[in-house]
Structure 1
Amino acid sequence: MHSPDSRAIPSNSQLWTGRVLSGLAVIFLAFDTAIKFAHIGPVTTTMAQLGIPDHFVLAIAIIQAICLVLYVIPRTAALGAILFTGYLGGAILANLRVENPLFSHVLFPTYIGTLLWVGLYLRDTRVRTLIS
C-alpha cells in the first residue's frame, strides 16, 4: 500500500508520459497561436464560419499566448491549465453554436484539454496531491 506522499511523486515513466502529453498539447497550441498572430487565410475563414468578427483574432491570439506561457512555466502550469480550460470551453461553444460536427469539431477542444490536464497530472506533484 502506498502512503499519500509516495503516490504524489511521479515515477520516471509517468513523468515522461506527462511531458510527452503536455508537449503534444503545447506544440498544437503554439502552432494555433502562431497562425492566429500571422492572421493567415484559413484563420480568417474559420473565424467567419464561427461568426467571430475578424478584428477579434488578435485578442484571441494574445489570450491564447498568455495561457500558453503560463502553462509552460512549471510554477504557473496549473494556472495556465485552468485558464486554458475556460478558453477551450469557449471554443466548444463557438462550434456548438454553428452546429459543427460533434467528434471532429465540437469535442476537439476537449481532446486538447485532456492532453493538458493528464499531462500536468502526470508530471506535477502539486496537482497529484490536490487530486489524490
Structure 2
Amino acid sequence: MEATFVNPTEKKSTNKAALAGKIISGLCILFLLFDAIMKVIKESHSIEGSAQLGWPVDQVQNIGIALLISTILYIIPRTAILGAILITGYLGGAIAIMVRAGQPLYFAAVFGILVWAGLYLRDEKLRELIPLKK
C-alpha cells in the first residue's frame, strides 16, 4: 500500500480555481444556451439581427441547432473539450461575419477566451495537458 500526501494549500487553490472555472463556464453556458434557443425558436430579434449581419433567414435556425449541440457537449464533462472546440469554431465564424459586416469583433474573441478559461480552470486534465508553468 502506498501513501500519498497532498499539500493542503495546493488543494485549496485547486478548489478555488475549479470554482472560478465553474462560474465562468456557467455564465458562458447561460449566454450560449439563450442565444441558441432564441435562434432555434426563431425569435424575431435574433432573426433580425442575424439578417442584418447577412445570414439568410432560413439558415438561422440551423445555426442555432449547431450552437445548441456544441453547448450541450461543453456542459457534459466527458465531452467538454470537444464542445469548447466546436464553440471556438462557431465564434471564429462570428468573428469573420463581424469583420465582413464592419462590426466590432471583440465580444466574440473575448467570449472564446472565457469559454477556454472556464474549462481550463475546472478541468485538471486540461491543465496537465497544457501547463502554463512548469
**TM-score in terms of structure 2 length:** 0.86
* 1:124 aligns to 2:109 (yes or no): no
Deviation at 1:37, TM superposition (A): 1.2
CA apart distance, 1:115: 1.4
Aligned: 1:79 with 2:82: yes
| Alignment partners' CA distance in 1, 2:32 and 2:93 | 15
1:69 is matched with 72
Q: Which runs of 4+ in 1 moved over 6 A?
A: none
Shift of 1:40: 1.3
- Secondary structure, counterpart of 1:11 in structure 2: helix
Question: Larger relative CO (CA 8 A, sep 6+): 1 or 2?
Answer: 1
Mapping of 1:92-103 within 5 angstroms? 92-100=95-103, 102=104
The number of residues matched between the two structures is 122
CA contact (8 A) 1:36 1:58 kept: yes
CA contact (8 A) 2:41 2:61 kept: no
| Bigger-Rg structure (1/2) | 2
- Structure 1 unaligned runs (5+)? 1-5
**Structure 2 stretches lacking a partner, 5+ long:** 1-6
TM-score (norm 1): 0.87
When the two chains are superposed, the root-mean-square deviation of aligned CA atoms in Å is 1.7
Structure 1 CA distance for aligned equivalents of residues 110 and 32 of structure 2: 12
**Matches of residues 1-132 of structure 1 in structure 2 within 5 Å?**
11-100=14-103, 102=104, 106-132=105-131
Bigger helix share: 1
Distance in 2 (alpha carbons) for counterparts of 1:113 and 1:26:
12
Q: Are 2:40 and 2:62, in contact at CA under 8 Å, matched by a contact in 1?
A: no
CA offset at residue 39 of structure 1?
0.8
Q: Bigger shift: 17-26 or 45-54? A: 45-54
Instruction: Work out the percentage of aligned pairs sharing the same amino acid.
Output: 44
